[in-house]
A and B are shown apart, each in its own frame.
Chain A
Amino acid sequence: MRVSLTTRGGLAAPIVRRLPPRVLDTDQLPDTDARELRRLVAAATADPGGAHPAPAARDAVTYTITIDDNSRSTTLTSADTSMSRAFGDLLTWVERHTS
C-alpha cells in the first residue's frame, strides 16, 4: 500500500503547492508501522471529516491523501477546521514518518 499526501492553500499557498508530496509505502516500513498505517487509513477512510475549510476560515490548508492498494485507489480530502480526528491522526503519522 502506497500513501501520498499533498497540500494546497495556506498562507504560503504558491510555495506549498510546489513542494513534493509526502509518500510512504508499507513495503518499506517495519511490520508494526505498516499495520499501524493500515489501521489509520481505515479509520480516516471511514470518517475523513469535511472536505472543505469552514467558510469563515482564511489561509486554511486542504489536504489530499491518496491510497493505492494493489489496483484500488482511494482519495481522501479534508481541510484545516473541518478534518476528523481520524484524518488528523493519519496526517500526523504521515508527517512523522516522512522527511
Chain B
Amino acid sequence: MTSSRRLNCITPPFILTRLLDSDNADIRQAALATLLTTAQLRGERRVRGLIAGALSMQGDGRRSIYNCKHSTFLPSAKLARSEDDGPVKDAAVNRAYEGFGTTRSFYREVFQRDSIDGHGMRLQGYVHRGTRYNNAFWDGQEMVFGDGDGEVFTDFTGSLDVIAHELGHGITEHTAGLEYHNQSGALNESLSDVAGSMVKQWFLKQTAEQADWLIGNDVFTPSIDADALRSMKAPGTAFDNKLFGKDPQPAHMDNFVKLPDTEDGDNGGVHVNSGIPNKAFYLVATGIGGNSWEAPGHIWYESLRASTQTTDFQEFADTTFTKAAELYGAGSSQQQAVKEAWAQVGISITTTPTLLGRV
C-alpha cells in the first residue's frame, strides 16, 4: 500500500487490519474503507469517530466492572471500576476486577491469547446482580455475578475458578462454539472447569499433585456441609448432605447420566456428565506430572481450537491424542498419558494408527 503516510496520521495500519476482525460490522466496514481509500477519508468525521470508538473498545481486554445494585436489568447498572482505576470500597467489584486480570494474564502468558476472542475483547463484569441470586453466568458478551442467598451460597466473585469458568465459556464460544446440550454441552462445561482449575493452579503456583482440583470450593456459606460444586479429581464426591443430596457427577462412561435435553434436565445434564472429561483432564495432568497448564493445558487448548459445535467426548478424546502427537511426538509419554487417561474413564482412542505412525 502506498498511502501509509496518510494512514499514519489517522490510525496505524496494523490496528486498521486488526479492526477488520471486529465483531461490529460498521467498524469492519470503516476499517476496510480506510485501508482502501484513505484519501477520501479526509473530512469524513463519522468514519473517524467509528474508528476512535473502536480503538477505545478494543485495547487488550480492558476491564469494566458494573454494579447492578441488585437489579436484574443490566442496562441500569453503574460503572464501578475500569482499567487503571485503583481499588474501590466494594470488595465484590475488586474481586471481579482482579479475577478478570488474573485470567487475562493467564491466557496471555500461557497460551499467547489476547482476551476472550483473541483480539483484545473488553472484559465486562456485572456484580450484585439480583437479590439472593445463587449463580454466575456468561450472557454471550459479559459475565454476571450474584451475591448468593447467604444461606447456602455466598458471593460468587469470591471464587477465582468460577470467574475463569465463566470467562472460559466466552473462549469456547469464540473457538469451537460447542453446542450447549448433551455431550457437546457437557464438554463445553468441562472445558470451563478445566480453565477454572488451571487458572487457579497457575495463580497459586500449584502442581497437578498439589492442587485440590475442586471447582467452586469458596461458593458455600460456612454452615453448608459441602467441599465444592464439583471435584475433577473425584467426580461425584464434592458434596453429600441432607439439604441437597449427593454430587451426581459420573467419573466413567458406564455411569453416564441420560437426562432430557430441556432446561429442567440441565440441557441433557451438561453440569452432570462434565465429570467424565473433567476426570480425564485430571488423569492426564497427574499422569504427565508437573503443572497442569503446561503440556496437559496445551494439548487441551489446541484440541478446543480444533473442535466444532458438535464435537462429542469420543471425538474430543481422539483430537487430544492427535494434538499430543503433534505437540510432543507420536508415542511420547504425553501422548501415552492422554490415551491412558481416556481409557480410565471408559473412552478408547479410535484414531487409526496408520494416520499417526506408531501408537
Contacts and interface: CB of A to CB of B under 8 A. Distances in A.
B136 A81 contact: no
Contacts of A53: 263
Interface residues of A, number: 35
A8 B139 contact: no
Interface in A19-57: 19, 52-57
A14 B139 contact: no
Nearest to B156: A11
A85 B239 CA distance: 35
A57 B130 CA distance: 17
B180 A14 contact: no
Interface stretch (B58-66, B70-78, B300-308): B70-78
B152 interface: yes
Contacts of A54: 139-140
Band of interface residues on B: 35 or more
B140 A57 contact: yes
Interface of B (DSSP majority class): loop
B70 A60 contact: no
A74 B263 CA distance: 19
B245 A12 contact: no
B135 A61 contact: yes
A17 B269 CA distance: 12
B315 to A, nearest CB: 21
Interface string A58-81: 111110000000000000000111
Contacts of A1: none
A59 B173 CA distance: 13
Interface stretch (B43-51, B94-102, B162-170, B325-333): B162-170
Contacts of B133: 95
A98 to B, nearest CB: 9
Contacts of B249: 14
A97 to B, nearest CB: 10
Given A56-B141, A59-B136, A81-B140, 14 more contacts: A7-B134, A11-B165, A12-B216, A13-B270, A13-B271, A14-B247, A15-B152, A56-B140, A58-B137, A60-B137, A80-B144, A92-B131, A95-B130, A96-B132
Interface of A: 7-19, 52-62, 79-81, 83, 85, 88, 91-92, 95-96, 99
Top 10 nearest A-B pairs (CB, nearest first) are: A56-B140, A88-B72, A58-B169, A10-B135, A59-B137, A18-B244, A95-B131, A13-B271, A62-B263, A58-B138
6 contacts: A16-B134, A57-B138, A58-B166, A60-B139, A80-B144, A85-B72
Interface of B: 70-73, 130-141, 144, 149, 151-153, 156, 162, 165-166, 169, 173, 180, 188, 192, 216, 219, 226, 229, 239, 243-245, 247-249, 263-264, 266-267, 270-272
